[in-house]
Homo-oligomer: A and B are copies of this chain.
C-alpha cells in the first residue's frame, strides 16, 4: 500500500520542474482567465503556447503526436500542480477530453492534424453534447448529420457548450442514424467552431461563467472530420468518462481558498472576538478541512486504479458525487463562517477575501448538475457499481 504519487526519479523531476515553471509563469491574471470560462485573453493564450513549447502539455502522449513521453502519473502530476495553484491546465478540454479519445479512436490523419497542435498549446475544443431537450438523457439527442457525398450537413442546436466562444473546434455529437437504437446512431465530429452556418449565443450563468447555445444551420463538415467509426460516438464519449472525471476534478484546488479563509478567521474580529475563537466557526473549519482530506483519499484511490490499468467506472462517478457535494458543503460552511459580510462580492468595500466565497457559493450550484447530475451518477453507482437491477 503506497499513497505516494511520485515514485520514480523522473516523476519527481517532472513535478519539481513543472512546479518551478508554474511558479514563475502563472500570473493571477492567467488564473483568472482560466477559472472564469469567460474566454482566454492574450495572457492565457501566450501561457498555453509557452507551456506547449516545454513539451510538458503533451506529457503522457507519444512523441510522434507532439507528446513528450511520460506516463499517466505525469498527466496527473500536471493536473495537480495546476490545481494546487488554482489554475487549470490550458486547453483542458482538448488535452484531457477530446485528445485522448482521438488518440485511441481517431484516424492517423486526424491524429497527425490535431494532436500536435493540442500538445503545443495552440488549440482548444468545446464539447457539443447537451441539447435543450437532451440533458441527463443524452442518448435522446436529436441534432442530425446528413450524409452528402464527401461531407455531412449538420443542422440543429446544442446548449451548455461552455468554451464555444473561444475554442477553436467543436467536439460535436450528433445523430447519424435515426433508425438505430438510441445509443447506436450517434457519431462524433470535429467541427471548426468558426465555420459558416454556426451561430453562438452567450448564456450568462449564476456563477458568472459564460456558456453558450450553439446553432448549426446546414453546416458542411468533411467526412475526414468524423472521429473514429460512424455511429460509435456514444461509446467514445462514455469510455473516456472515468479518466476525464478524475483529471478534471481535484479537491486540492480548495486548499488555497481554505487557507485564506482560515487566515481570515485568525485575523478578523466579530462582536469583539476573533472569528477563530468562535466555536461554531471552529466546527465549520474542522469539518471543511476533514472533507478536503477525505476527498483527496478518494482521488488517490481512483488514480491508483487508473494507474494500475483497472477500469475506472463507477469509482469515477462516486468521486464526482462526493466531490461536488463536498464543494457545496464547503461553500455553505464558508458562508456560515463569514455571516452577512460573506455575501458581499468582488469590489464591495469590506467584502471578506475579496468576495471569493460569495462567488464560490454561486459557482458550486452547478457542480452537482453539470457533467452528470448526482441523480444519474447515483444510479450508475448503484447499478454498475453495486449490481442493483436497472
Q: Which residues of B lie under 8 Å from residue A279 when comparing CB positions?
A: 279-280
User: Which residues in chain A, 267-307, are within 8 Å of chain B measured between CB atoms?
Assistant: 279-280, 283
Q: Could you say which residues of chain B place their CB within 8 Å of the CB of A283?
A: 280, 283
Number of interface residues of A (CB under 8 A): 3
Number of copies: 2
For chain A residues 140-176, which have a beta carbon within 8 Å of chain B? none
The 4 nearest A-B residue pairs measured at CB: A279-B279, A280-B283, A279-B280, A283-B283
Nearest Cβ on chain B to A335's Cβ, whole angstroms = 17
CA of A283 to CA of B279 in the docked complex: distance in angstroms?
10
Measured between alpha carbons, how far is A375 from B174 in the docked complex, in Å? 38
A74 CB to nearest chain B CB (Å) = 45
A280 to chain B, nearest CB (A): 7
* A–B Cβ pairs within 8 angstroms, 4 of them: A279-B279, A279-B280, A280-B283, A283-B283
How far apart sit A69 and B279, CA to CA, in the bound complex (Å)? 56
Q: Which residues on the B side are within 8 Å of A280 (C-beta)?
A: 279, 283
A278 nearest in chain B by CB position: B279
Bound: A325/B280 CA distance, A: 24
State A279–B273 Cα separation when bound (angstroms): 15
Nearest residue in B to A282 (C-beta to C-beta)? B279
Compute how far the CA of A280 lies from the CA of B279 in the bound complex, rounded to whole angstroms. 8
Q: How far is the CB of A337 from chain B (nearest CB, A)?
A: 15
Considering the chains assembled together, what is the distance between the CA atoms of A279 and B279 in angstroms? 6
Minimum CB–CB distance from A89 to chain B (whole Å) comes to 42
Query: When chains A and B are docked, how far (Å) is the Cα of A279 from the Cα of B280?
Result: 8
CB distance from A17 to the nearest CB of B (A): 47
How far apart sit A280 and B283, CA to CA, in the bound complex (Å)? Answer: 9
Output the nearest chain B residue to A279 by Cβ-Cβ distance: B279
